[in-house]
Structure 1
Amino acid sequence: MLVVDDVATNRLLLRAKLSSAYYDVVVAENGAQALQMARSEQPDMVMLDVLMPDMDGFEVCEALKAREETAHIPVIMVTALDTPEERIRGLDAGADDFLSKPFNDLALFARVRNLMRMKMMFDELRLRDMTSRELGIADFVGDIGADMDLDTCGPILLAPPSDAQGALWAEQLSARLAIPTIVTHSEREATNLARMELPDCFVVHQSLAEGGDGLRLVSALRSRPETRQSAVILVVENGDVHVAAKGLDLGASDYIESPFDISELIARIRSQLRRKRYSDRLRSNLRNGLKLAAIDPLTGIYNRRYASQHVLRVMERAHDTDGVFAVMMIDLDKFKSINDRFGHDAGDAVLKEFSRRLQENIRGVDLVARFGGEEFFVAMPDVDQTAAAAAAERIRRAIEGGSMPLPDGGAVEVTVSIGVAIATAADTDPEAIIKRADSALYRSKEAGRNRVSFAQAA
């Protein structure tokens, strides 16, 4: 953690407090030094004094958030000027939170824990995103400080202490934000609306209408998969630090003290929505990357990388149950001639149609994958030689029995050769099992194609 303050006493005090809670702390005494250390040390958090002689805290925060290598680091601004204007300016500069001097230890550590959890989550997502991009299976997301269209966000759900307060919040937000708002009238209604509307942000008062408990609602929102990633801002009455700290520990993203300046609430909402949009994009990039890593783009079935891992799981199941399983290697006969005669578009159409028929003729529990070119693979758990022979013949007949349509309206006759290997609990090498099926496929080709051959027992 990096502590930045031009006053040595303040640096020592913060360092002592944080070190007593087992945080590793480094210090900087001015803005230029802070920027250099943030780049070189890559701290998990920056605690930044607002009033400094060379660069004030706002300038340092803007510089941190403008650079890709430091934009993801949470920043807590520390100020003696506890005004809404100061907080709004800091939030607009990219600060993640505020502490006012002299600060309460409970508030300090609650905010630090909250931002540390957020940083760990973002670091994990960024690491996976970087790995996906290095593998060429994901796009560049940008950084958390990049401009994002917040007007396309989902609704903001307001859970006020009374109907009158909710109407006022909604009116004030609607006048300043082009994001729809929904006002709830009870804790139960808030829970039900959260499931149906899927808000991107919740503003939850600690005491809800009809005697509801805001902290209980915060906990429920964080525990449910559909709202777990939403931003949650807790509204705390009369600066109650204990409620605020408990809310952050229960999963609130941020808190604001009531009565509040509506501009500050809007600044906090925008900050939380930017953070949520960034994490959503990282998760989406990761999901898409994983899909590309596992799915063959032409046929939409699994690829060899996924199939190799799947065979391991099938093999483990066989070990646990002392059972058997079958794997097939399937190759389209004389496929090169189809490309040569009709073109690659026709060849692609044949591969897609073959994949469709193949999936129609296996069980739901079976796995079909494309290994590359015209070579396909099927893994069949809990299948012995008799059942495997019947399945392989069914697939062979399904291909032989009907011509494949081509893009130009024509059709072509296609056959397949199949090699099958039966594995038992004694088999420990999935690649060896696949190789046995591949050898059986080669024998089918040598014997004249359009037939099924079985591998010899290991």
Structure 2
Amino acid sequence: MSGRVLVVDDVATNRLLLRAKLSSAYYDVVVAEDGPKALDLARSEQPDMVMLDVMMPGMDGFAVCARLKADPETAHIPVIMVTALDTAEERIRGLEAGADDFLSKPFNDLALFARVRSLMRMKMMFDELRLRDLTSRELGLAEVMPDQDIEAEPSGPILIAPPDAGRGGQLAAELGARLSIGTIVTSSEREALNLSRLELPDCFIVHQTLMEGGDGLRLVSALRARPETRQSAVILVVENGDVGTAAKGLDLGASDYIEAPFDVNELIARIRSQLRRKRYSDRLRSNVRNGLKLAVIDPLTGIYNRRYASQHMIRVMERARETGGVFAVMMIDLDKFKSINDRFGHDAGDAVLREFSRRLQENIRGVDLVARFGGEEFFVAMPDVDAGAAGHAAERIRRAIEDAPVRLPGGAGEVDVTVSIGVAVAGAGDGDAEAIIKRADSALYLSKEGGRNRVSFFARAA
């Protein structure tokens, strides 16, 4: 995973040190020596993350962070505040200014890179949601999303998975009194998973060691794997500065972590920050989903149609132009689909299309876009993907369809289904969206001519 990081520090040695560390992990680094320049660079460069020193002359890090979060052009950029004064008071002040996390000097490389990876994933997710929201608004399907009432929106309960009943009960009482949000205390890992389905918490507080021999990291992983809890905030509690466990938790999908023993005020500030982020992402998803249902959602399969995909391709190409990256598109056709309709009827054909759409979505990334172009023809757009990754994804999709027959409605039995796939990889300068889609369509023709149930790539003329 790569991205652009803006490093802000008034001390040249500190800037050089962070630049060297981040560059060694293949991040693109931009530097600023003071707050005003940082604000200008954040607007012009649109970095994926800002690493911001707290103690700077003139405008300190807290003021810069507050300005970044107040500006609609930069409010979505994650901010890590860097300080030599690692106190709960400093962290709370930064979180209240909008910071996403704190790192203390000297840096622990494990904590640094785990936090950067985690926030980069979050930024990628928000970028994709904002991209889809922009596409919807340009199509006239949604209005600009108001932000003023986001703090007032109701929250689901907070589920606490503690190391023992005493600490769980005490924490629940403190959080309930201070946040006016319902709390649930669980007695085991299994109970936490079961209650998460019933209560739909917006936030989980998970200790690294759970009662009845439970494993906090395993619970974090399970929560992220389940659709009903995938978007919830998860804060991992680690003991005595266990950076290794914290880093592993972030890589498994924890939204944040806090070291025990902790100041409950800091935990509350972190919960508020995570809930604010979740409400924003929920609102983006809702805005996109509600605006698109009638106009650009295929009613049979529930995925996007060609109208939306064509507009979205423009955004994908714009992002490729900004990053200098490449992207891939696939055209997918169900082999001999007409024979299924002729043999089993159109209800069976509809069932096959719905099941194919489900498997297709299960075998792509969250940032990829799936659309039905019509009949049995489907489309996938994959940003930031080269030929090798696109080929692996296409083969994964092909096998997912071939390996299991589709059960037909009304007890009509099962039918084997295969697909032919055409892939084209392009950059922003490789023609317009329709030309790139036509290349993938040409590759699809090669797959069908070559015997079906295969993947072909568009080959440029020599």
Alignment TM class, shorter chain as reference: 0.5 to 0.7
Structure 1 residues 392-431: aligned runs within 5 Å = none
| Equivalent of 1:95 in 89, 96, 99 | 99
Corresponding position of 1:223: 225
Corresponding position of 1:42: 46
Amino acid at match of 1:155: P
- Structure 1 residue 259 and structure 2 residue 261: aligned? yes
Query: What CA distance in whole angstroms lies between the structure 1 residues aligned with 2:30 and 2:306?
Result: 48
* Secondary structure at 1:323 match in 2: helix
Corresponding position of 1:183: 185
Cα deviation 1:80-112 (Å, max 9, x = unaligned): 111111100000000001001112010000000
1:223 CA drift (Å):
0.5
Query: What CA distance in whole angstroms lies between the structure 2 residues aligned with 1:110 and 1:323?
Result: 52
Query: What CA distance in whole angstroms lies between the structure 2 residues aligned with 1:113 and 1:6?
Result: 25
C-alpha contact 1:150 1:274 (8 A) present in aligned 2: no
* Secondary structure at 2:336 match in 1: helix
* Secondary structure at 2:262 match in 1: coil
Corresponding position of 1:207: 209
C-alpha contact 1:151 1:179 (8 A) present in aligned 2: no
Corresponding position of 1:135: 139
Amino acid at match of 1:105: D
Cα deviation 1:289-331 (Å, max 9, x = unaligned): 22032479xxx999xx95999xxxxx954x52563869xxxxx
Query: What CA distance in whole angstroms lies between the structure 2 residues aligned with 1:92 and 1:85?
Result: 11
* Secondary structure at 2:93 match in 1: helix
Q: CA RMSD in A?
A: 2.9
Amino acid at match of 1:17: K
| Equivalent of 1:248 in 242, 247, 250 | 250
Amino acid at match of 1:168: Q
Cα deviation 1:369-408 (Å, max 9, x = unaligned): xxxxxxxxxx999xxxxxxxxxxxxxxxxxxxxxxxxxxx
Q: Which runs of 5+ in 1 are unaligned?
A: 310-314, 327-361, 368-378, 382-458
* Secondary structure at 1:65 match in 2: helix
1:286 CA drift (Å):
1.4
- Structure 1 residue 320 and structure 2 residue 322: aligned? no
Corresponding position of 2:117: 113
* Secondary structure at 2:150 match in 1: coil
Amino acid at match of 2:212: E
C-alpha contact 1:61 1:75 (8 A) present in aligned 2: yes
Structure 1 residues 26-425: aligned runs within 5 Å = 26-142=30-146, 146-149=148-151, 152-294=154-296, 316-317=333-334, 320-321=336-337, 323=339
1:177 CA drift (Å):
0.6
* Gap change, CA 1:167 and 1:32, over 3 Å in 2: same
Query: What CA distance in whole angstroms lies between the structure 2 residues aligned with 1:54 and 1:308?
Result: 51
Structure number with bigger Rg = 1
C-alpha contact 2:341 2:349 (8 A) present in aligned 1: no
Q: What TM-score do you get using the length of structure 1 for normalisation?
A: 0.67
Q: Which runs of 5+ in 2 are unaligned?
A: 309-331, 352-373, 377-462
Cα deviation 1:31-51 (Å, max 9, x = unaligned): 000000000000000000000
